[in-house]
């Protein structure tokens, strides 16, 4: 008898717990979606399904979601939309049936549950995609309760793909809006590597509709300017705030100092997204465009597009800048291209290519592999190979120095990411090389080997860093959509590596045949050197023509 009374007492205690949410107000289950029934969920496949009406989505879309019993009815449920592998609800729901209600798990109607314990076969609700925040592929996840002790958690729909780009595309460029992009004429709805902005003044020029998108780890920003230099620009920034969410900021720049953040003013219809590193924002502003000399959308402006990182919601110095080649009136639809690079920038790039693709490479190869050339033949009292090596390296140092002076005299800042840093290191090491050579000890000195090794290693380091600097410079300079200048430079690196492999193989073969390096057996080396020069000349001419066309 006591045993039965104990069982009855236990059920009396448990029953209020397991039946405490017949009204569906299950916000306590928002995170793990597990009913507080005191028993574990079922592990076998659920006799229920979650069905999405869409296979993909973008910001602002609505999706119809159906939960249904395939072979069994259910009395309770909890439905949410979550990022794939996410841990919290996303978006908002609306319901049109008395059998379902919305719940506020994170301050909005981001979940749906039952309103009673009546049996249900199917429930249909509508989910609205958020217009801001970090979006990606999602799944709809549901908990189904069959009775107090039988329930399933995490019954998921098929994955709904996020199409990204915030709906921004090049459609309408030149006909209904002003567009500016890098690479030229790229479409952000097709290529994630497209930096793009558009602007169009509404009827009466009372408002401006703006779009911007591009790959960035912190922010992208657009500017309206009277000229092609930064300073006195009206700026809008789309970037990550201190809370990790995207926000629109209005700013004004003065000179090269960080822009002054202004009140957002009359900015509305903001839609933003961050998807796979691509930041996108669109909005409407009633703020009149204003620079130091121009006011209003009827004035011509140069367009600027920049991107960079943020720190605790504050923008850092931009990593790259794209400026339109001409000014444009945003009240008149059109397409503007990227600013052609100044002659000084092109001269800098050309000199660095000549220095480290041709003269520097030839000088290094001669010193390493052609020392036996014309043995005994002197020029100005020195071996011919040494005179050739010295002459080529003097040209290399001179070209590098001139290129360095030109670019810093024109730019006068560190914008450009890793390129200026690499360039400065190359310049310093390049000046160390001849300085150390002037004060080297004699050929027979017991410490000469230290100079020989340090001279060779420093030359190798300079070469590697110079090639890296050229690559970063070409990436910044190359406006072509397929970046063919970078690919040509990659071909040159492969060509030079092949030549070094051939020369090393030749050296190994000569050593195997016990041929003295000091002999006159240098015909093969000279042939390889000649082929190397011709190949380099082809790559160099292609790159110089490409730089000239930018």
Domain-terminating residue out of 104, 135, 162: 162
DSSP labels, 58-69: -TT-EEEEEEEE
CATH code for the domain of 125: 2.60.40.4060
Mean pLDDT of all residues belonging to the chain: 82
- Give residue-wise pLDDT tens across range 253-291: 876 678 888 888 888 888 888 877 889 898 988 888 877
3-state DSSP of 208-275: EEEEEEEECCCEEEEEEECCCCCCCEEEEEEEECCCCCEEEEEEEECCCCCCEEECCCCEEEEEEEEE
159 Cβ contact list (under 8 Å, min separation 6): 84, 137, 138, 139
CA distance 395 to 159: 61
In a shared domain, residues 35 and 127: yes
Domain-terminating residue out of 130, 145, 162: 162
Mean pLDDT of 177-188: 89
Number of domain units in the chain: 3
CATH code for the domain of 184: 2.60.40.1210
Q: Which residue has the tokens 């030549």?
A: 499
Mean pLDDT of 372-393: 75
CA distance 176 to 331: 10
> 145 by DSSP, 3-state: which?
strand
CA distance 198 to 331: 12
In a shared domain, residues 151 and 177: no
CA distance 209 to 461: 50
* The predicted structure's pLDDT at residue 18: 42
- Give residue-wise pLDDT tens across range 130-139: 876 677 889 9
In a shared domain, residues 314 and 361: no
R_g over Cα of the chain: 34
292 Cβ contact list (under 8 Å, min separation 6): 226, 232
In a shared domain, residues 182 and 258: yes
pLDDT exceeds 90 at position 451? no
In a shared domain, residues 111 and 173: no
In a shared domain, residues 209 and 181: yes
pLDDT exceeds 70 at position 13? no
* The predicted structure's pLDDT at residue 293: 57
Domain-terminating residue out of 336, 366, 400: 336
In a shared domain, residues 171 and 284: yes
In a shared domain, residues 157 and 170: no
* The predicted structure's pLDDT at residue 517: 47
219 Cβ contact list (under 8 Å, min separation 6): 237, 238, 239, 240, 279, 307, 308, 309, 310, 315
Say if CB 283 and CB 248 are below 8 A apart: yes
In a shared domain, residues 362 and 493: yes
pLDDT exceeds 70 at position 550? no
CA distance 233 to 289: 9
CA distance 164 to 138: 12
* The predicted structure's pLDDT at residue 412: 60
CA distance 501 to 505: 6
CATH code for the domain of 452: 1.20.120
- Give residue-wise pLDDT tens across range 199-242: 988 766 678 889 999 999 999 999 998 887 777 889 999 999 88
The pTM (predicted TM-score) of the whole model is 0.48
In a shared domain, residues 376 and 245: no
Mean pLDDT of 324-344: 80
In a shared domain, residues 449 and 533: yes
By residue range, what is the domain housing residue 63?
A: 2-162
* The predicted structure's pLDDT at residue 143: 95
* The predicted structure's pLDDT at residue 512: 66
H or E segment and range at residue 498: helix 484-512
What's the angle, vertex CA 433, arms to CA 428 and CA 437, rounded to 5? Answer: 150
Mean pLDDT of 530-547: 85
- Give residue-wise pLDDT tens across range 19-67: 445 676 888 889 889 988 878 899 999 999 999 988 878 777 889 999 9
* The predicted structure's pLDDT at residue 11: 45
Residue 264: CB atoms within 10 Å: 16
CA distance 243 to 240: 8
In a shared domain, residues 312 and 219: yes
Q: Indicate if the alpha-carbon torsion angle 65, 71, 77, 82 is positive or negative.
A: negative
H or E segment and range at residue 144: strand 138-145
b or e along 476-506 (b: 16 or more beta carbons within 10 Å of the residue's beta carbon)?
Answer: bbbbeeebebbebbeebeebbeebbebbeeb
Query: What interhelical angle do 360-369 and 448-477 show, nearest 10?
Result: 150
Could you tell me which residues are beta bridge partners of residue 337? none
Say if CB 64 and CB 136 are below 8 A apart: no
């Amino acid at each position: 008898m006591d045993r039965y009374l104990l069982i009855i007492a236990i059920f009396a205690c448990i029953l209020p717990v397991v039946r405490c949410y017949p009204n569906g107000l299950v916000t306590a289950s928002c995170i793990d979606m597990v009913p507080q029934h005191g028993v574990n969920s079922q592990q076998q496949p659920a006799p229920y399904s979650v069905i999405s009406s869409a296979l993909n989505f973008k910001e602002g879309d609505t999706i119809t979601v159906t939960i249904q019993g395939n072979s069994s009815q259910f009395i309770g449920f909890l439905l949410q939309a979550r990022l794939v592998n996410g841990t919290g609800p996303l978006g908002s729901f609306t319901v049109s049936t008395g059998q379902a209600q919305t719940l506020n798990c994170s301050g909005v109607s981001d979940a749906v549950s039952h309103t009673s314990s009546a049996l249900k076969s199917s429930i249909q609700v509508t989910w609205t995609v958020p217009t801001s925040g970090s979006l990606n592929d999602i799944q709809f996840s549901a908990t189904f309760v069959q009775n107090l002790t039988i329930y399933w958690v995490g019954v998921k729909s098929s994955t709904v793909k996020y199409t990204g780009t915030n709906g921004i595309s090049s459609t309408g460029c030149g006909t209904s809006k002003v567009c500016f992009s890098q690479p030229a004429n790229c479409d952000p709805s097709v290529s994630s590597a497209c930096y793009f902005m558009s602007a169009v003044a509404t009827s009466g020029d009372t408002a401006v509709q703006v779009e911007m998108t591009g790959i960035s780890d912190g922010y992208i920003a657009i500017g309206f300017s009277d000229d092609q230099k930064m300073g006195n620009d009206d700026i809008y920034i789309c970037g990550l705030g201190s809370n990790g969410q995207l926000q629109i900021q209005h700013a004004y720049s003065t000179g090269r100092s960080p822009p002054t953040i202004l009140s957002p003013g009359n900015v509305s219809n903001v839609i933003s997204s961050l998807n796979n590193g691509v930041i996108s924002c669109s909005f409407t502003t009633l703020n009149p465009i204003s620079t130091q000399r121009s006011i209003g959308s009827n004035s011509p402006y140069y367009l600027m597009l920049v991107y960079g990182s943020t720190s605790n919601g504050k923008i850092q110095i931009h990593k790259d800048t794209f400026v339109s080649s001409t000014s444009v009136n945003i009240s008149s639809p059109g397409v503007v291209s990227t600013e052609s690079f100044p002659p000084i920038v092109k001269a800098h790039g050309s000199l660095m290519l000549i220095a480290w693709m041709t003269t520097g490479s030839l000088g290094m190869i001669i010193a390493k592999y052609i020392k036996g050339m014309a043995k005994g033949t002197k020029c100005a009292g020195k071996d011919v190979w040494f005179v050739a090596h010295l002459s080529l390296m003097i040209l290399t140092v001179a070209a590098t120095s001139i290129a360095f002076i030109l670019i810093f005299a024109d730019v006068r800042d560190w914008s450009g990411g890793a390129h200026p840093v690499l360039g400065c290191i190359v310049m310093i090491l390049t000046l160390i090389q001849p300085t150390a050579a002037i004060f080297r000890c004699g050929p027979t000195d017991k410490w000469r080997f230290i100079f020989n090794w340090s001279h060779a290693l420093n030359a190798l380091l300079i070469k590697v860093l110079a090639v890296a600097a050229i690559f970063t410079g070409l990436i910044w300079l190359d406006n072509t959509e397929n970046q063919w200048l970078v690919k040509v430079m990659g071909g040159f690196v492969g060509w030079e590596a092949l030549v070094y492999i051939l020369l090393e193989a030749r050296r190994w073969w000569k050593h195997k045949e016990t041929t003295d390096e000091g002999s006159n057996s240098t015909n093969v080396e000279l042939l390889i050197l000649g082929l190397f020069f011709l190949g380099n000349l082809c790559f160099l001419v292609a790159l110089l023509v490409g730089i000239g066309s930018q």
